[in-house]
Amino acid sequence: MRDPMRERKSGERGLVQWALAVVLLGMAGGGILGSAQPPARPTAPPKVRRAVAPKAEPTAAEADQKAMLGTISADSLRGHLRFLASDLLEGRDTPSRGLDVAAEYIASQMMRAGVAPAVDDPGASGGKSYFQVARWQVSRPDRDSFSGGIELGEERLPLSLDQISFQTEQAVDLRAVPLLKVDLKEADRLAALTEAQVAGKAVLLDLPEVSREDRARFMEGMRVRSQILAQLNRLRPALVLSLGRQSTVGRGLLGTRLIDPSRPAGGMRGGPADPVLTVHSPSVVALYDAMADGETRGTLTLRVGAPVVSPVDLKNVIGVIPGSDPVLRDTYVLVSAHYDHVGIMPGAPGGDNIYNGANDDASGVVSVIELASALSRLRIKPKRSLVFIAWFGEEKGLLGSRFYGQHPVFPLDRTVAMVNLEQVGRTDSSEGPQVNTASLTGFDFTDLGPIFQAVGEKLGIRVYKHEQNSDAFFGRSDNQALADAGIPAHTLCVAFVYPDYHQPGDHWEKIDYDNLARVNQLVALSLVGIAENPAAPKWNEVNPKTARYVEAWKRLQGGANGDRP
């Protein structure tokens, strides 16, 4: 079993030490520094002045690291984030023009800082590029082919793209399909339905609407929706239509999907298709409310062409500061963040359709930029090499980090640790203010937790394990892809849950930049400590939750159980 105190001391090895000496001098009765004025009244005998040890001069490495910390600036972070989370980048969807602009910006900032490009590219200047390119394909819905409407006797209610939200992965051609109303308010209504009543019909119902603003209610709402749809789909309806009462504007045809040609069956990515056409039309809502439950005289016509597939290049942005040790420079410490978000979604409340993603995760990206700039200024470089990565496609399923795991730029068996940064900018957590605090997912899965905790104590930042969210959130960010390969990897965050999560209101001005700068200092010193330490971080084999990662690490090391450099 591991000794936590020993691990903690090992983790602190090589970290900057700042000593503040306080000198308390005994003063003689009415005089200061030998004043000639006599005391006004008798005084106690003068105290014996104790010898004070001279203040220790900082080492060259300590002074270098202290100067490096001083270059981390709240104003610099604010400037980068204001651009990356601006409307100009349109929410940085994967793929999108805004995402490409962000990639170029991140690469240019790495170049400005003097961080070397890391990816082999014979066509690039010097044979190296900042871009690791995934040459994939993208499948987009054929919006030009859409037409549809509901007919009830002589009344026809046409449907337009701004009145629907619908995702399909194949062509749809429904012509005058009978419409069946199913009133979910009636107890046991679903259980009473038969396949003969439902098969081949368009089922119109009022599914519960869910919102991501309240995550607990969102998950429960999705569970209820899934149960209802599972019951219905067993009866083979032609289509399920639901009412969108919360908004009169839909999101149109959804379902942009990414295809990895190297994976079986094309490796479709982007989330499963929602088998429901949601109608955001007040006229259709009024029609539904006036209808009797059961079979109607109405019909549905709907035509959507097959998705259009085209090539697309997606980019991880990667830079490196080579290490200084002749041996350890060929081992790597990664710090990363994802630079994508969810893009533009028509029909958002308040008319703001751009999901800027300032905290999720422009805050992490600007931290990677700022850390690259600060650490590149160290005159005494750490022993191990430091690698800076901005991932594409996290919101679509950890795509960029998983692509890296399959096509590593640096050998995975020589990668000793990965620190991913996400949601590090906002301190207005749903649990209360989170100023001068930070947490790691899977806090006690490896010995990185105590290292960050020790550095945090020196800087006045409480680094802690969140009892509910630390383990639960471990698989919800890009650290998971590297952990699956056996690399000790965590995500550091400030607020697990906060207002505006995946909402248009996650704007740059809501970031606490002073706190973000302090968190960057925490990460900078922790990275230096890890990169300086001859002993590589290890998985906590005592924790049963790490078993799969320990096995992956052993496979990565060829079955070795000893320490690696």
Mean of the per-residue pLDDT values of the chain: 87
CATH for 138-310? Answer: 3.50.30
Q: For the chain, report the end-to-end CA distance as a whole number of angstroms.
A: 21
- Ranges 65-74, 301-310, 340-349: which has the least confidence: 340-349
* CA 516 – CA 347 distance, rounded (Å): 32
- Whether 38 shows a pLDDT value over 50: the answer reads no
Question: Residue 26: is its pLDDT beyond 70?
Answer: no
What is the spatial distance between Cα 138 and Cα 311, in angstroms, rounded to a whole number? 6
Q: Residue 218 burial by CB count (10 A; 0-12/13-18/19+): exposed, middle or buried?
A: middle
pLDDT of 565: 66
Residue 41 pLDDT class (50, 70, 90 cuts): very low
What per-residue string of b and e applies to 396-422 under the rule 16 or more CB within 10 Å gives b?
bebbbbbbbbeebbbebbbbbbbbbbb
Could you report the per-residue pLDDT of 121-158, keeping only the tens digit for each?
A: 988 888 999 999 999 999 999 999 999 999 988 889 99
pLDDT at position 9, please? Answer: 40
CATH architecture for the domain at 62-134+315-556: 3-Layer(aba) Sandwich (3.40)
* Residues 1-16, mean pLDDT to the nearest whole number: 38
Q: Are 417 and 334 in contact (CB under 8 A)?
A: yes
Q: Average the pLDDT over 278-302 and give the result.
A: 93
Residue of 241, 233, 264 lying closest to 178 (CA atoms): 241
Lowest mean pLDDT among 20-34, 42-56, 459-473, 522-536: 20-34
Band of pLDDT at residue 345, cut at 50, 70 and 90: confident
Each residue of 483-496: pLDDT tens digit?
Answer: 999 999 999 999 99
CB 27 within 8 A of CB 39: no
The yes-or-no verdict on residue 8 having pLDDT over 50 is no
Span 83-97, average pLDDT = 97
| C-beta of residue 121 within 8 angstroms of C-beta of residue 394 | no
pLDDT attached to residue 216: 63
Closest CA to 89 of 381, 315, 355, 438: 355
Label residue 545 by pLDDT band (50, 70, 90): very high
Burial category of 28 from C-beta neighbours within 10 Å (exposed 0-12, middle 13-18, buried 19 and up): middle
Are 333 and 387 in contact by the 8 Å Cβ rule? The answer is yes
- Please state the domain extents for the chain: 62-134+315-556, 138-310
Instruction: Give start and end residues of each alpha helix (H) in 88-247.
Output: 97-113, 189-192, 195-198, 215-233
